[in-house]
Amino acid sequence: PVLRVAIMGLGSYGTRVAEAMQSCKRARLVGVISGTPSKIKDWQAKYNIPAKNCYNYENYDSIKDNPDIDAVYVITPNALHHEGVLRVAAAGKHAICEKPMAINAREGKEMVDACRKANVKLLVGYRMHFEPNTLEIIRMRNEGEFGDIMFFQGLSGFRIGDPGQWRLDKDLAGGGALMDIGIYAINGARYMVGEEPVWVTAQETKTDPVKFREGVDETIQFQLGFPGGAVASCLSTYNMNNLDRFFLNGEKGFAELQPSTGYGPIKGRTHKGELTKPHVTHQTVQMDEMAGIILEGKKPEVPVDGAEGVKDLTIIDAIYRACETGKKQELEL
Ligand code: NAD
């Protein structure tokens, strides 16, 4: 069986996912949800999408009556993920949702509950969880090749352009760099260390309060403490380009990835030598694997379900509280 997917939000990442899905074996793009009729027309022509599988934001609840769509992939601005997933669940369809899953943990939990009640699956677009060099490091860690993990460093950032875009509007983005790119360092800290953090401290700096308004973070440094004694030191920013590096150190060895989360080849090395797994198109592998999870109950190496998304949001909430109060925040994940 093939997972038949409709994409909601035909923007830049939605377009990337659609292109990548053309090479999928188990997932197929069959529908669209968009507020822009001209984009729907273009996508219909390009991907051979029938008119009966095309919806707008007013009428997509009726996807409930469409037996030819199994799942909806929500790829809209962050603050709209919550409503999108709730309506997809109410329509009885599986939901795949982009990161960050929502703009706080409370909304994330509501999405998990709604999907559980509707008896549909909820997955979050964590493409790195299927990336071969990343999985190789996780395999080495599990086999004890680094010894006890003591330290992780995650640096995630890019220099953001157009000040008018939704990423710099708190109402649509839910925050700033942390929500958008810093989440890679948070998520990476968890899958690289292999534990859930128990505390967080954080410090915010802002060089441009005009571009980065109240509630939109430019740069945050944060630290996570893990139960086994490891600490993570991370940086999230919207004002440095080419910042994409993970470093993990244990008692016996290290792993380094740079770039660590970009779309292009993920490269790195360990104390044993270069990482040599072949480059894959992340979104193609992700969608094929997600088809296996949804249709066959396959278990991924690193979880990509709603609970995983809520954990990252719980940490994001705590990082913002730590910045505001200057105090260490305890975490229970
Ligand atoms: P984008 O601005 O290119 O696209 C957003 C789309 O949502 C547009 O087509 C826009 O028309 C539509 N939209 C619907 N309602 C809207 C509204 N009220 N206001 C503004 N736009 C509205 O953004 P993007 O880069 O495609 O990001 C979309 C989502 O995908 C975000 O949540 C982002 O974090 C995520 N994303 C994930 C990755 C990844 O690697 N996993 C990469 C990029 C983006």
Ligand 1: which residues within 6 Å by Cβ?
A: 9-14, 35, 75-78, 80, 98-99, 125, 127, 166, 172, 180
Q: With cut-offs at 50, 70 and 90, classify the pLDDT of residue 291.
A: very high
Residues 6+ apart with CB under 8 A from 34: 8, 9, 10, 40, 43, 54, 55, 56, 57
Q: Do 117 and 168 belong to one domain? A: no
Instruction: Find out whether 128 and 261 touch, Cβ atoms under 8 Å.
Output: yes
Instruction: Find out whether 199 and 120 touch, Cβ atoms under 8 Å.
Output: no
Distance 327 CA to ligand 1 centre (A): 33
Q: Look at the chain and report how many structural domains it folds into.
A: 2
According to DSSP, the β-strands at 254-257 and 54-55 are: unpaired
User: Does residue 257 lie in a domain region?
Assistant: yes
What domain range includes position 185?
128-277+305-330
Q: Do 104 and 135 belong to one domain? A: no
The predicted-structure confidence for 245-282, as pLDDT tens digits, reads as follows 999 999 999 999 999 999 999 999 999 999 999 999 99
Residues 6+ apart with CB under 8 A from 309: 97, 99, 100, 101, 102, 108, 111, 124
Q: What are the C-alpha distances in Å from 148 to residues 187, 229, 301?
A: 19, 9, 20
Q: Do 142 and 250 belong to one domain? A: yes
Catalytic residues: 99, 184
Tell me the residue type at 212. F
Q: Which atom of ligand 1 is nearest to the CA of 180?
A: 34
Q: Do 113 and 158 belong to one domain? A: no
Q: Do 62 and 109 belong to one domain? A: yes
Q: With cut-offs at 50, 70 and 90, classify the pLDDT of residue 197.
A: very high
Q: What is the pLDDT of residue 78?
A: 99
Q: What is the pLDDT of residue 121?
A: 98
Atom 1, ligand 1: residue with shortest CA distance: 11
Best of 75, 165, 260, 263 to mutate for ligand 1, by most ligand atoms within 8 A of CB? 75
Distance 166 CA to ligand 1 centre (A): 8
Measure the CA–CA gap between 37 and 25, rounded to whole angstroms. Answer: 29
Tokens read off for 297:
């109950």
User: Does residue 176 lie in a domain region?
Assistant: yes
Q: Do 102 and 40 belong to one domain? A: yes
Give the domain CATH number at 13: 3.40.50.720
Residues 6+ apart with CB under 8 A from 107: 82, 313
Distance 191 CA to ligand 1 centre (A): 25
Measure the CA–CA gap between 73 and 97, rounded to whole angstroms. Answer: 6
Does the ipTM surpass 0.95?
yes
